[in-house]
Amino acid sequence: SSVGPQVGLWNKNYSGINRANVILSKIEKATTLSAAFKTRVTAETKFLRAYFYFDLVRWFGNVPLITKVLETSELYTQVQSTPAQIYAQIEKDLRDAIPGLPATISAGEKGRISQGAAKAQLGKVLLYQNDNAKMTEAATLFEDVNRVGNPYGYSLLPNYADIFNPANKFNAEAILEIPHSNNAAWSDWGYINGGEGNVGTQFVGMDSYNGDTYSSGWGFCPVTLDLVGVMKNDPRFAATIIDGAALKAAGATYNGRYQNTDYFIKKYAPLKAFRSASGVAEQNWPIDEIEIRLADTYLMQAEALLRSGGSASRAKELLDAVRARVGLASIPATLDNVYAERRLELATEGHRFFDLVRTGKAVAVLGSQGFKAGKSEYLPIPLNEIEVTKGGIKQNPGYN
C-alpha cells in the first residue's frame, strides 16, 4: 500500500536517518565548533541513527542500510539489507556513541541523550535479537544502569502512577523519554509524525467525551478485554486503564468507536489540565513518551540473566523489586514469570507485540486475531518504495 501508518513509520525513520547522515558528513569538517561539542553531537547523532534503524528493523525486517548522504541517482537503486546486517550497524553506532555521551543531563537540556540511555538501548537491541550468546553482554549493560548507586541517577518511583504524570516529566525512572510540547502555533495533518505535540494522546482518548478529568479524543486503541481480565485485580490497573463504564455510571458520556470495549489507555490519555489553549489542540498534547524506563530494564536484565545462565538470585531480586513497588509478593524468577510481569508492568507502553514476536509466542497468543507466522511479524513495505526502485526493494512475504 502507498497509504497507511506503515508509510508514516517508514518516512519518519528514514527522514531521521538522512538528517543523521548529513550531520555526520559535515561535523568533522566544521572549524568553528569545539571538540567537546563535536564529540557529544556525533554521539547523539549515532544514537539517533541506531534508534531509527531499530524501529525499522523491528517493523519491516529487510530494509535499506544507508550510512552516508546519497546522491540523487542513488535514491532509486537502493536494495535491502538483512536484519542481521541492520542490527550489526545499530550495535556499532551505539557502541561508538556511549563514550561520547554525558552520564547525566542538566535541567535545561532534558530530552537529550545520556550514556545510561545508550547503554539501556544497546542492551535492548542485544536482547531483541533473540540470540542467547548476546545475553551476557546485555545483562552487563543493564546492570550498569540498574544497580543501586548507578551514575545516571535512576531509581524506581515509589508511586507507580507518578511515572506517567505529565507534570512529572524526566523523573528518576525515565531512561529514554521523547519530549512533547504544546508550543506549536500551527499544525500539518499531512505529517503528524513531525509535530512537537503528542498526537497519539488524541487517538487514545474517548470519542466525544463529556465529563471530568479527561478531554475528548478519537476513541482508537481500546484496551482489550483479555488485558482487562489479566489486570483487573492488579494494583497497577487504575494507573493503566480507564474504566469507561464506571465513568458513565458517574454521569460522563462518550461514543464507543470501532471494537469498543469501554476500557481505554490511561497512561497517555488526554487530560483537561494539559489541553493546549493555542495552535491545534489535537496535535499539541505536551505528554511525553517514555520509551525505556527502569522497571523495563530491571525486567530485561532478569530475562537476560535467566537466558544466559547468569545469577538467578539477581534475576529474582530485580523481578521482586518491580512487584514490591506495587505491593505484590515475591515469586520465582522464571522466564514465564518475567514475561507475564512485563505484560502487566508495561501494559499499553508499546512493548507487548515485540515481546510476543521475539519470544516466539505471537502465533499462540495472536493467532485467533489473524496473526500468521512468516507474515505478521512485519508490516508491508510502502508500495512507492518498491516502485521507485523498480523492484529493487522487495515486498515482505504475504503482502504481494
Cβ atoms of 189 and 225 within 8 Å: the answer is: no
What confidence score (pLDDT) does residue 198 get?
85
Residue type, 121: Q
365 located within any domain: no
What confidence score (pLDDT) does residue 384 get?
93
What confidence score (pLDDT) does residue 189 get?
63
Write down which residue in 229, 251, 282 finishes a domain.
282
Q: Domain residues for 61?
A: 1-104+111-130+379-400
- pLDDT digit string (tens) for the chain, length 400 residues: 667 889 989 999 999 999 999 999 999 899 999 999 999 999 999 999 999 999 999 999 999 999 999 999 999 999 999 999 999 999 999 999 999 999 999 999 999 999 999 999 999 999 999 999 999 999 999 999 999 999 999 999 999 999 999 999 999 999 999 999 888 766 666 666 667 888 889 999 999 999 999 999 999 999 999 999 999 999 999 999 999 999 999 999 999 999 999 999 999 999 999 998 877 888 888 899 999 999 999 999 999 999 999 999 999 999 999 999 999 999 999 999 999 999 999 999 999 999 999 999 999 999 999 999 999 999 999 999 999 999 999 999 999 8
Rounded to 5°, angle at Cα 141 from 169 and 268: 25
Residue type, 216: S
185 located within any domain: no
- Report how far apart, in Å, the C-alpha atoms of 345 and of each of 295, 351, 359, 382 are: 8, 10, 18, 33
- Domain count of the fold of the chain: 3
Same domain, 267 and 214: yes
Residue type, 269: A
- The whole-model pTM stands at 0.96
Same domain, 43 and 100: yes
- Report how far apart, in Å, the C-alpha atoms of 165 and of each of 80, 236, 239, 291, 367 are: 41, 14, 10, 15, 35
Q: Which three cell numbers stand for residue 93?
A: 553506532
What confidence score (pLDDT) does residue 1 get?
60
Same domain, 146 and 74: no
User: Beta-strand (E) ranges in the chain?
Assistant: 174-178, 207-210, 241-243, 253-255, 263-265, 289-293
pLDDT in tens, 335-351: 999 999 999 999 999 99
Q: Which three cell numbers stand for residue 244?
A: 469507561
61: CATH: 1.25.40.390
371 located within any domain: no
pLDDT in tens, 115-133: 999 999 999 999 999 999 9
Kindly state the percentage of the chain with pLDDT values over 70.
97
Cα distance between residue 292 and residue 374, in whole Å: 28
The owner of cell 551514575 is 151
Same domain, 233 and 340: no
What confidence score (pLDDT) does residue 311 get?
98
Q: Which three cell numbers stand for residue 121?
A: 538501548
- Radius of gyration for the alpha carbons in the chain, expressed in angstroms and rounded: 21
Same domain, 169 and 292: yes
First and final C-alpha spacing in the chain: 10
What confidence score (pLDDT) does residue 152 get?
98
What confidence score (pLDDT) does residue 284 get?
84
Same domain, 203 and 312: no
What confidence score (pLDDT) does residue 222 get?
96
What confidence score (pLDDT) does residue 197 get?
80
Q: How large is the angle between the packed helices 294-308 and 335-345, nearest 10 degrees?
A: 170
Cα distance between residue 241 and residue 175, in whole Å: 23
What confidence score (pLDDT) does residue 193 get?
62
What confidence score (pLDDT) does residue 264 get?
97
